[in-house]
Structure 1
Amino acid sequence: MRYLVIPLVASILFPLTTVAKTTVDVYHAEVVLSNEKNARSIAWGEGLEQVLVKASGNADIADNEVVKKAMRDGSDYLAKFKYGTLNGQKSLDMQYSPKQIRVLLSQANASVWPKERENVLVWLVQDDNVERQVGWEQSGLDSVAALQTAAQQSGLPITLPLGDMDDLTKISAPDLWGNFPEPLEEASVRYPADSVLVLKVAANGPSSEVNWQLYDMAPDSITSSPQSAITGVETGEVAQAIDKAIAKISAYYAKKNKPSSKQVADDALWAHFSGIQSAQSFFNLERSLLNLESVATVQVHSIQGMNVTFNIQLLSNKADFEKQVTGLKGIEKTQAPVDSAKVAEQAATEQLIQADESQKVNQTATQEMNEVDPDISEPEEETADEVLPVEQQLWFSL
C-alpha cells in the first residue's frame, strides 16, 4: 500500500517531527478483468466506483442515482488506462480524470474529500476467546489484513505500529483493551500521525464485534486534551465490522475537510423549450430529459407562458445532449433569439424577483417560528445564479 510506507519510514528517521497530511492517490484503480464479453466496460464502471468512494469518503456513493447513470460508461471519466496483472490475473489499470470526478460528485450533490488527508495511527487488539493480541504491522493477523484492505478502499491513510522492542515495553494488549490513555499516548508519540484510532476486535464469527475509539488529535495530546474520543461499535464478520468502522471514520474526515467554497459543476447549460401546451406536456418533457444518458440533473429555471427554461447539469457534453434531445419525438432544435443577451438578462431579472419574493416569505415564516422557538436561526441569504453565456444555452420547440 503506497501511502502506508512513507509514514513508517518517517517515524524511523524523524520520530519527533510534526506531521503534514498524507497525499492519497485517489484517482487510480485497478480491476481484474472478468470473462464477460464486455469485460472492459464492466471494469471501467467498477474502477469508477472505487475512485468515487475514495474521492468522497462515502462507501455508499454507488447508490446515488446520478452516479448509477455515470457508471454505465465509466470510460467517460478516464484519463488513461493500461492492461496489467493483479493477483496473477489479467487486469485493467486505470487513472481517472480528477476534474471529471469532481464535477460528477458535484452533480451528485456529494462532497469532495481533498486528497491531502490526516494520517491515522491504528492500534488494533484482537480477542479470539483464547488470547488477546496486538495487531502489529507484520503480525499476520487476518484482522490486520482486513484493516489494510478497508483503509485502501476508503482512501484513509493509516500507520500500523512496528511492534519492536520500543512498542513492547510501552504498551500491551491489556492496556489497549482497558482503554488506558497514558500508555496509549506514550507508545504513540514516536509515530508521525495526526490522530490515533483504537480498534478492539472481539472475534466470534458472524457475531464478532468491533469497538472503536478515534482520538482526533496529535498523539501527545491524548491525556491532556479536554476533547473526548469519538466512539462506535460495529458487528458482523470481523472483516465486515472493520470495514464498517473504517467507512464511518472516513466519512467523518471527509465531512470535516469538506471544502468551504460552494462547488459548481463546469458542465451546465440552460435548455429553452417553446410550444408547451399543457402541464402534462411539461412533466413528460422533464421526465424525458432526466432519462437522457447525458443528463445528471434537471431543474426548472423559469416558466413564462408556453415557454420553459431548464437548468441542466451534464454527465457528458453539450453536443451529446443536443443530439439526444433532438432524437426525442416531437422536438426540434431552433435558433437562438436575435437578441439572446436580452433574453438571458430577462431570465436573470425574473430569477432575482423570484428570489426576492422568496426571501420575504422566508423572513415572515422565520419571524413567526421565532415567536414559538427563539433559538431558530434565520436562513442564509441566497444569491441568484449568474447568467450563463450564450454558448451554454440551447433552444428547442415542441
Structure 2
Amino acid sequence: MKSNRLVRFFAVISLFFSVHSVALPQISPYQGLVPAEDSNEDKLREAALEQVLIKVSGNVDIVKLDGSKTLAKSIPDMLAQFGYQDINDKRFYFALFEKQAINSALNAMQQPIWGETRPSPLIWLVNEDRQLTSENMIDSSQDGAISWGLNKSQIERGITGKFPLVDLDDLLTVSVSDVSGRFYQTVADASKRYDAEYFVLANLTSINAQQWQLKWELVQYNAQSKKNQVLIKQTSNGDKAGVMSTMLGEIADYYAKQFAILENNGARSAQLLNINNINSLAKLMSINDILNNLNSVESFEVVSLDDKKLEVLVTLKGSLASLENALNAQPKLQKDLISTAPFYYNWQP
C-alpha cells in the first residue's frame, strides 16, 4: 500500500541522516522530498505527492482517502518542477507541485488548506547533560539524533523548530531550573528577543540505551496581556529522534487546527481591519505581504489611511476565526486592548 511505502521511505531517510545529520534547505509545503532508493519515478512522485497532501492539509490521514489515491493519476498535470538533489552525500528525488492545483484538489476533497502561517516554536530543551540546547548545538549537529528529528518534521509536516542562542543574555534571564520548573513568565521574558509567541519547555532524559523520554509543553504568550497559556502538555517515549519528531508533529496538528481553513465556496464574507502606528510605506508594504500570504484571505483593499491608522477591507475564503488566528500569529501585529471592537491591532516596532 502507498502508506506502507511512505513509511519505508522515511525509514530509509532516517538512516541517511542519523549518523551525520545536517540542516535541510528550506522546503516548501508544496514540495515533496523522498530518498531516491527506488528507480521507479512514478512511485517516487506518488510518495512525494502524499507528503505534500499531508503538509498542506495538516491531515496525516488524508492519504487514506479515495480522493488522494485518484489524484495520483493526475500527477504530471500538477508538477511544477522535479528532479534529483544530493543532501548529506545521498540522492533524493524532489517534486514541487503547483500550489493552485493542490489547493483545488483539496477543496474538491473537502479538506482544509494550511497556508504559510506556520510559526516556528522556540524550543527551550534541557538535554540529558542538564544543559540548555543551543542553536549552535543544532546547527553543528552535535547530537545527530535531535537534528534528524527536526529534519524529519520539516520534511513530513512542513514545520520547523528554532532554538535559543543560549548566550550570556539568555543565561542571565533563564536557567535550566526555570525550564524544568516550568516558570512560564521567566521563559516568556527570555523568548521576547526571538519574537516567539509560541515556545516549548522540554526535558529530555534517557530511559536506557535505546529509549528516551521527552516531557514537554507548548505555551503561547500574549505580550500585551502578559498571560501564558499552556496549549499542549505531553510525555513521549521512544528513540531520541522519534520523540523530537513526535513533539513537532503534535505541534503541527495543533497549528493545522488553528490556521488551516476549509474554504467556503458560497457567499464571501468581509471584515474591516484597523491597524494603528502605520506611518511609512515600508510598514504598509509589510501589511500587504502579510495579507497576501494569509490563506484565509481572498482579497483586500485599503479603505483609508489617516493619522497613522490604516483601515483595510478583507474578503474571506474561510471563517472570521481563521482570519483572527492567522493575524494573532503575526509577531508585528498585537491586539489593541483599549478597543472593545474586534480586529483592532497595533503595529509593533
Quick one: which amino acid aligns to residue 53 of structure 2? L
SS at structure 1 position matched to 2:131? strand
Deviates more, 1:202-211 or 1:166-175: 202-211
Shift of the alpha carbon at 1:256? Answer: 0.6
Contact 2:120 2:160 in 1 (8 A): yes
CA deviation map 1:138-186 (0-9, x unaligned):
2223453134214412112432111222122222222211212233122
Mapped pair 1:167 → 2:180:
no
Contact 1:55 1:115 in 2 (8 A): no
CA deviation map 1:361-390 (0-9, x unaligned):
xxxxxxxxxxxxxxxxxxxxxxxxxxxxxx
Distance in 2 (CA, whole Å) between partners of 1:254 and 1:32 is 26
SS at structure 1 position matched to 2:194? coil
Contact 2:150 2:245 in 1 (8 A): no
Contact 2:107 2:262 in 1 (8 A): no
Distance in 2 (CA, whole Å) between partners of 1:89 and 1:176 is 37
Distance in 1 (CA, whole Å) between partners of 2:183 and 2:61 is 34
Task: Find 2:253's aligned residue among 251, 254, 263.
Answer: 251
> What runs of 5+ residues in structure 1 fail to find an aligned partner?
5-23, 265-398
Quick one: which amino acid aligns to residue 209 of structure 1? Q
Shift of the alpha carbon at 1:113? Answer: 0.6
Tell me the residue number matched to 2:34. 31
Quickly say closer, same or farther: Cα 1:195–1:82, change in 2 above 3 A. Answer: same
Quickly say closer, same or farther: Cα 1:234–1:160, change in 2 above 3 A. Answer: same
Tell me the residue number matched to 1:213. 217
> What runs of 5+ residues in structure 2 fail to find an aligned partner?
1-22, 267-349
Shift of the alpha carbon at 1:107? Answer: 3.5
Contact 2:127 2:205 in 1 (8 A): yes
Shift of the alpha carbon at 1:193? Answer: 2.0
Report % sequence identity.
25
Larger radius of gyration, structure 1 or 2? 1
Tell me the residue number matched to 2:274. none
Contact 2:134 2:165 in 1 (8 A): yes
SS at structure 2 position matched to 1:169? helix
Quick one: which amino acid aligns to residue 234 of structure 2? G
SS at structure 2 position matched to 1:159? coil
Superposed counterparts of 1:180-219, under 5 Å: 180-205=183-208, 206-218=210-222
Distance in 1 (CA, whole Å) between partners of 2:133 and 2:228 is 28
Quickly say closer, same or farther: Cα 1:182–1:29, change in 2 above 3 A. Answer: same
Quick one: which amino acid aligns to residue 162 of structure 1? L
Contact 1:80 1:94 in 2 (8 A): yes
Quickly say closer, same or farther: Cα 1:244–1:91, change in 2 above 3 A. Answer: closer
Distance in 1 (CA, whole Å) between partners of 2:69 and 2:88 is 28
Tell me the residue number matched to 2:287. none
Quickly say closer, same or farther: Cα 1:44–1:30, change in 2 above 3 A. Answer: same
Quickly say closer, same or farther: Cα 1:110–1:81, change in 2 above 3 A. Answer: same
Q: TM-score normalized by structure 2? A: 0.60
CA deviation map 1:279-304 (0-9, x unaligned):
xxxxxxxxxxxxxxxxxxxxxxxxxx
SS at structure 2 position matched to 1:133? coil
Task: Find 2:244's aligned residue among 239, 242, 245.
Answer: 242
SS at structure 1 position matched to 2:105? helix
User: Between Structure 1 and Structure 2, how many residues are aligned?
Assistant: 238
Distance in 2 (CA, whole Å) between partners of 1:252 and 1:226 is 17
Tell me the residue number matched to 2:159. 156
CA deviation map 1:59-98 (0-9, x unaligned):
3432333223434664343112233323323433321111
Superposed counterparts of 1:315-330, under 5 Å: none
